[in-house]
Amino acid sequence: MLIKEMNAILVADDLVDFLEDHPEHPALVHSVFPHAVNFLIEGEELITLTNQDDITPMGLLVDSRVSFRQYLKPGDKLVLDVDRVTTVKGVFAVNLREAQVWQTRSWMHLTPRPIEELDQLNLELSNWLLNQPALGLLPLLPRLMRCSTNSTMVKDNLYSRYIADDLEAFTIAIQTSEWERALELADHLIGFGMGSTPACDDFLAAYLIIFKIADELIPGRFPWVREFNQAIASKAKERSTLISANMLRHAGDGKTSRSHQDLIQACLFNEKSDLEKLASRVIRHGATSGGDFLLGLVCALDWYRTVMMEYTKEGEQAWVESVRLQSVPSI
């Protein structure tokens, strides 16, 4: 059989770091889809190869549109090197030499939006979601966001109906800073749903990313975030799929796919972009994964707005108190 060689267009920065530190590293094909392949390394970490104009943390995007199932199958052995990925049998290879590096945390140097702008954008995103097909967890949007809809009654489904109370309890626990209670409730959420990334895992991923961003924007303000995010990722190892566990681990580090990253940046930072266009890209992920993530995102942004308003008010109050305490010069 002739070798099938592809050229990488983008490579995630964390994958570049791994390849530089682990030359000629062995890997196994974990799962194969028409437009994506997962390589297993270190026994529990995945590298995702895709050709669908998106890229994930520890991932790479190639220029070929052929189905990967023609060339790879689960269990195939590979060798990973800094400039090339090759099957041991030599029938498939990806050239990395000319690929650009994608920054998995490119939001780190951006300027946060004013709260008023964030409020408006989250309202726009919520209203847009209300007009999308009510699949997966989306029927719960009015309930979780406490918003009304003038459309016909949203039809729920078996999955959203079953998990509704736990999901609502989780969002309330987050809003009221009951982190231990939220972690207990997460036991009912992690791994719930069908597919390689169950519905509630996608929902939780959005929260973990927003928690991480908030923690880095105001260091020391949210000392629970690191432990909380790590706990969710640890629970996912036992309760969910390997693909989903990797997704939640990355989310806990503030990392997600490029399409999701672009939308989050548009919401939180001073980035001019078409919000509906970015949301449309995200919602196309999986059968319901995109919509489940978006539901988590609007809920997480609601939390972010609340805590940032509190932080701003505390800062203003501290300034007033400092002025009051200044000594008044005598005449």
CA distances from 291 to 108, 132, 185, 248, 278 (A): 25, 9, 21, 16, 13
Placement of tokens 């719930």 in the chain: 192
User: What domain range includes position 238?
Assistant: 106-317
Residues 175 and 160 in one domain: yes
**DSSP codes, 53-90:** S---TTEEEES--S-GGGT--TT-EEEEETTEEEETTS
- Show Cβ contacts of residue 265 under 8 Å, excluding neighbours closer than 6 positions: 106, 107, 110, 271, 273
Per-residue pLDDT in tens (0 to 9) along the chain, 331 residues: 567 999 999 999 999 999 999 999 999 999 999 999 999 999 999 999 999 989 999 999 999 989 999 999 999 999 999 999 999 988 999 999 999 999 999 888 889 999 999 999 999 999 999 999 999 999 999 999 987 555 444 678 888 999 999 999 999 999 999 999 999 999 999 999 988 999 999 999 999 999 999 999 999 999 999 999 999 999 999 999 999 999 999 999 999 999 999 999 999 998 788 999 999 999 999 999 999 999 999 999 999 999 999 888 776 454 445 545 554 444 3
What does the alpha-carbon distance between residue 25 and residue 9 come to, in Å, rounded to a whole number?
A: 21
Residues 247 and 136 in one domain: yes
pLDDT score of 18: 97
Amino acid type, 224:
W
Residues 218 and 252 in one domain: yes
Q: Are 50 and 35 in contact (CB under 8 A)?
A: yes
**DSSP codes, 100-151:** EEEPTTGGGGSPBPPHHHHHHHHHHHHHHHHTS---TTGGGHHHHHT----S
pLDDT score of 234: 97
The domain tally of the chain equals: 2
Residues 218 and 251 in one domain: yes
The SS3 of residue 329 is coil
pLDDT score of 2: 62
Residues 291 and 163 in one domain: yes
The SS3 of residue 230 is helix
Q: Which of 78, 102, 126 is the last residue of a domain?
A: 102
